[in-house]
Structure 1
Amino acid sequence: MTSTPQCRPYRIQASIKDFEVPVHKYLHQHPKISDILSAAILIHKNRVLLVQRAADDDFPNLWEVPGGTADRGETIVQCAVRELDEEVGLAASTVAAMVSEYGWTASDSGGSDSQEWGVWKVFCFLVMIDGANEELDLEIKLDAREHQAYLWATETDVRGGFYGDTSLNWISSNQPQAILAAFESARSSGC
């Protein structure tokens, strides 16, 4: 079992042991990467937990899965577990799979003299919560500084980009692909 100072212990599947590397070590081994984000994709009752960014935060009103920037003193997996806890108040018990990784170059888009901020890498993990079964409703506690709403979307919702009348305007075009990969991983592993 692994734990972070902020989170309860959790298990990781053998297939993702390579992502239990400290962030500073990963960045040292990959000097072209400036920073790392990790995300936790939680599927419960055949639905994925999505959170909507706060209207007064960066990337306002966009939908995403819980996640954020990794701290130098934690591992890539620990970041996903910590972000799930901080953003929605849920403690992951198992990190089941790394379902997607992608990157982008962040730059100052404020003018024509844009400077490159660097290459960011995002790792998306399928997480599970002990005791989360078909009868249990999970209590979500949003951090209002970061997110203003949440919903539980089906795979069909993600594919169509709508939850009822709500348009799922994604923080990144990579988000729905990562979520769909998590649905597939959950099906194939029986999660």
Structure 2
Amino acid sequence: MTTPSPDFLNRLVADARADGITGFVAGAVITDADRVLLVRRKPDDYLGGLWEIPSGKVEAGESILGALHRETTEETGLTIDTVTGYIGHFDYTSSRGGATRQFNFGGTVKDTEPIVLTEHDAYQWAHRANLPPVSAAVLELITR
């Protein structure tokens, strides 16, 4: 896999808009050897208790990869060292009812610790064969 080109990323957004998608999220499948970083939503949050990959909204005027880097750092304190490629997307209805597409990318970090959580209540470096409860869409991404 290689870092996606700006043209490829622009096509992803154009295709999503053509599909009626109004919200965009960038998700990071951060790996370390055979482990993947998962964070758990706080119990009182939307989908509380579910484990997920670091992810967040693409802000107005921000690129998908810009959001990927920013959200990963904001949610975990880690800095993405390398984006290894585009893994795929999934669509869902946001907590506000909007049609949202999450674009997901593989990545690595230079240092796996310390992790500083700001929006989640726990994290783990999980082995793909022994995952905590994740959504079907995240499970598919992680086990590809």
Q: Give the TM-score, by structure 1 length.
A: 0.65
TM-superposed CA distance for 1:62, in Å, is 0.8
CA distance in 2, matches of 1:91, 1:71: 19
Higher strand content, 1 or 2: 2
Aligned pairs for 1:93-172 within 5 A: 93-106=81-94, 117-130=97-110, 132=111, 137-143=112-118, 146-158=119-131, 168-170=132-134, 172=135
Q: CA offsets, 1:108-163, max 9 Å, x none?
A: 7xxxxxxxx44211111101123x4xxxx5211111xx2000111111113xxxxx
The CA distance in 1 between the partners of 2:116 and 2:104, in whole Å, is 21
**8 Å contact kept, 2:16–2:101:** no
Structure of greater Rg: 1
Gaps of at least 5 residues in structure 2 are none
Asked if residue 13 in structure 1 is aligned to residue 2 in structure 2, the reply is yes
Q: Distance in 2 between matches of 1:121 and 1:48?
A: 21
Q: How far 1:73 sits from its partner (Å)? A: 1.6
1:54 aligns with 2:42: yes
Change beyond 3 A, Cα 1:106–1:83: closer
Given candidates 74, 79, 92, the residue that maps to 2:62 is 74
3-state SS, counterpart of residue 130 of structure 2 = helix
Aligned residues: 141
Higher-RCO chain (CA-CA 8 Å, sequence separation at least 6): 2
| CA–CA separation in structure 1 for the residues paired with 2:43 and 2:88 | 27
1:169, CA displacement in angstroms? 2.3
CA-based RMSD of the aligned residues comes to: 2.5
- What's the secondary structure of 2:22's corresponding residue? strand
What's the % identity of the aligned pairs? 29
Amino acid at match of 1:81: H
**TM-score by structure 2 length?**
0.85
